[in-house]
């Protein structure tokens, strides 16, 4: 693992440690979270325990994990072999607890495969509606970064569609062209639209990554981005740590964005927000709180530093929403017709 000494969003060195947690291998396999932790310790880091720190930048308020994965560990984390081993760990949890993956994370088995097609269709239409409500003129060419099979962009029927992903999709759509290296993407630039959902939270150096994406666009191009809204939950753990004596631990994510830190990330690469909201959204077979941003490329880089008032306002609002999610899940379980992607 490698130590992060400056903010991965704004490069500021004024960093505070919120939580420090020693994560240990747990052979109880009492939950799928434990399975993920055990898998990462054993198969990615090759350790029985690891000390991780949850840190926050005082300038842009970004929350991130340090030390984080090295490039070699990151490659192991997302390898095909890693997925096979993690599935084995999941099966062990189900044998011991009787809980499926969906039940463990959502508390509702109905959020499994039954709703996956509906949630994918909802997201596809949502992305299309948000983008076309702001885009003036046609979208001739678009790129989905980390887009898997490209299903998020199928609604853009009149556009030439590309997906950049390091992992080959299990199924392919004839109207989408797949590429697996950025040099090929650069040769196809500029794109009128870039889409990236649930990828930036996994990236060690999001500042350099988003800057590299700026080479794929031109003035007026749009960037649709979506990341999970998890920072409020982490900050609440920090506030309650003296009572709970329990912090965060190693998982798949290394960055925890707030709306303001996401805006800071894109501002430094020349993007201006035209739509930035938090929302309850389906993701695969689960429902979760997310941050959705649509940014227009201006080519004018600037340092956006959010005010403390804005950050705390967003924090309290999203903490309340976070607290209500369990209640919503019980409601949706009892009345499936109320699901937000119906």
- CA–CA distance, 248 with 23 (Å, rounded to integer): 9
pLDDT, residue 321, reads 72
Q: What is the pTM of this model?
A: 0.88
pLDDT, residue 327, reads 64
Mean pLDDT of 231-255: 75
Classify 272 as helix, strand or coil: strand
121 domain-assigned: yes
pLDDT, tens digit, for every residue of 104-133?
A: 766 555 555 667 777 888 888 999 999 999
pLDDT, residue 339, reads 59
How many domains is the chain built from? 1
241 domain-assigned: yes
| Confidence category of residue 33, pLDDT binned at 50, 70, 90 | confident
3 domain-assigned: no
Residue 61: CB atoms within 10 A of its CB come to 26
188 domain-assigned: yes
Mean pLDDT of 43-47: 92
262 φ/ψ angles, rounded to the nearest 5 degrees: -65, -40
CATH number of the structural domain spanning residue 165: 3.40.50.150
296 domain-assigned: yes
State what percent of residues in the chain have pLDDT above 90.
46
Best CA proximity match to 143, nearest among 102, 186, 100: 186
Q: Which domain holds residue 236?
A: 15-338
Best CA proximity match to 265, nearest among 222, 302, 216, 309: 302
pLDDT, tens digit, for every residue of 295-334?
A: 999 999 988 888 888 888 888 887 777 666 666 666 666 6
148 domain-assigned: yes
pLDDT, residue 107, reads 57
304 domain-assigned: yes
Among positive and negative, which fits the CA dihedral 172, 289, 34, 238? positive
1 domain-assigned: no
């Amino acid at each position: 693992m490698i130590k992060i000494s400056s903010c991965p969003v704004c490069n500021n060195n004024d960093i505070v440690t919120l939580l420090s947690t020693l994560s240990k291998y747990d052979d109880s396999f009492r939950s799928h979270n434990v399975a993920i932790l055990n898998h990462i310790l054993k198969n990615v880091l090759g350790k029985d325990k690891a000390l991780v720190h949850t840190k926050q930048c005082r300038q842009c308020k970004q929350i991130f994990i340090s030390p984080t994965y090295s490039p070699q560990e990151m490659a192991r984390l997302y390898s095909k072999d890693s997925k096979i081993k993690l599935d084995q760990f999941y099966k062990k949890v189900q044998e011991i607890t009787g809980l499926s993956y969906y039940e463990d994370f959502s508390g509702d088995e109905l959020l499994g495969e039954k709703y996956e097609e509906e949630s994918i269709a909802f997201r596809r239409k949502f992305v299309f509606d948000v983008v076309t409500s702001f885009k003036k003129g046609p979208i001739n060419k678009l790129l989905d970064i980390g887009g898997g099979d490209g299903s998020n962009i199928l609604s853009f029927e009149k556009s030439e569609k590309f997906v950049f992903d390091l992992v080959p999709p299990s199924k392919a759509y004839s109207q989408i062209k797949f590429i697996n290296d950025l040099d090929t993407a650069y040769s196809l630039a500029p794109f009128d639209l870039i889409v990236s959902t649930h990828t930036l939270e996994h990236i060690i150096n999001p500042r350099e990554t988003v800057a590299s994406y700026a080479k794929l666009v031109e003035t007026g191009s749009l960037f649709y981005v979506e990341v999970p809204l998890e920072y409020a939950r982490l900050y609440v753990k920090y506030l309650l740590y003296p009572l709970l004596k329990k912090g965060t631990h190693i998982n798949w994510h290394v960055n925890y964005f707030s709306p303001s830190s996401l805006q800071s990330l894109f501002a430094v690469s020349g993007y201006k927000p035209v739509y930035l909201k938090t929302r309850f959204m389906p993701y695969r077979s689960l429902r979760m709180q997310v941050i959705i941003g649509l940014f227009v490329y201006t080519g004018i880089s600037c340092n956006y530093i959010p005010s403390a008032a804005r950050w705390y306002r967003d924090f309290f609002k999203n903490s309340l929403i976070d607290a209500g999610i369990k209640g919503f899940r019980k409601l949706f379980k009892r009345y499936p017709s109320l699901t937000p992607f119906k």
